A and B are shown apart, each in its own frame.
Chain A
């Protein structure tokens, strides 16, 4: 005898049992992004309209003639998610103002990958921030163009091997450092910016809820482990996400109107090697390169803690 409760209690957190995109989707086995999306949708509820970029989420959820989506959803092109959601937001606002449609609470949410955000989509995103549209932008970062076959993006971390920046006799793989999209969002002076990870599901859901409730632009950068592209076992997405936070590779923090808060502060970070060794994309790294990465992470984390202290919430 089966009974679906309306929501399930985890301590103080109530998580709805409703699924806003159905199973039967074609995300890879053990996909961290699928889980992150599932949790984000639970935090958003059904009074949303989602504009989605081309990418893993779009492909896995909307192959004609079927759809996984149980909420209103639109995909147009790759780089224009923020522009599309700007039109949706402006359209809804004016139609309600003119009385053409009844006044309701409908949240405009943009969903895109790292490529669709920090590379090809950055112009549209910057414009949407500047125009102060009331929308929540969720960047699901699996650190490469995964859907098209693991090509590098500006979110690919230093030393990672991708198909267009592969590790080889003459190369370490990615030779540039990961573009800091969260800080770029902060530089636009928007009311809410946060980083999140599905390994910390309640933190993620609370942030998505917070971002949705903010009036004006909100940006959440969501770490999304990818077994296929990062070459790790299909059951490790949660562990890898946890290590990313615990090693300082992906710190969890929020910035509300320019005021920083570190959500998970660790006096001592775990060594990055624990994180790197689980993933095939870093398999080629020599000790000195791992040390270099460790130094970079220490530097970045120190910078962040300084900001947290200087602009404390």
Chain B
């Protein structure tokens, strides 16, 4: 089974270009790890969270995913660390901490 990997320009010869450079695979950018951009990341205190859903609503990157139990989880693959979620949380349940060196 071939691992799906982010398509990049240098993968393409001229033969691989679709007519008119039309992209037929919808949402192929989903494989791009924008999480590499961040210098800080959100940490949620579940005790304080009241499941108001506002962090999910206000994330420009749709990087906050709703969980089965009604709480939320940040998708670190995409999260750019902007801090909007921490700012809009009415309960102060989210804090931004420095991103660690991997």
Contacts and interface: CB of A to CB of B under 8 A. Distances in A.
Interface of A: 1-5, 8-10, 15, 17, 19, 21-27, 29-32, 34-35, 38-39, 61-71, 198, 201, 227, 233-239
Given A10-B53, A30-B82, A70 B27 contact: yes
Given A3-B67, A24-B30, A39-B57, 4 more contacts: A2-B67, A22-B30, A25-B34, A30-B80
A66 B67 contact: no
B75 interface: yes
Contacts of B19: none
B87 A23 contact: no
B4 to A, nearest CB: 12
Contact of A23 (B25, B56, B62): B62
Contacts of B57: 8, 10, 15, 39, 201
Nearest to A34: B60
7 contacts: A23-B61, A29-B37, A66-B29, A67-B25, A67-B29, A234-B82, A235-B86
B47 interface: no
Interface string B23-41: 1011111111110011000
B34 to A, nearest CB: 6
A103 to B, nearest CB: 24
Interface residues of B, number: 46
Interface in B47-102: 53, 56-63, 65-68, 73, 75, 77-78, 80-84, 86-88, 96
Contact of B61 (A4, A25, A39, A227): A25
Contact of B60 (A22, A32, A61, A64): A32
B84 A66 contact: no
Given A24-B31, A64-B23, A69-B26, A38 B62 contact: yes
Contacts of A27: 60-61
A117 to B, nearest CB: 21
B40 to A, nearest CB: 9
Nearest to B78: A23
Given A34-B61, A234-B83, A235-B86, A68 B29 contact: yes
B37 to A, nearest CB: 6
A170 to B, nearest CB: 36
Contacts of A38: 60, 62
B23 A35 contact: no
B82 A235 contact: yes
A205 B60 CA distance: 15
A236 B29 contact: no
Nearest to A32: B60
B42 to A, nearest CB: 10
A223 B29 CA distance: 26
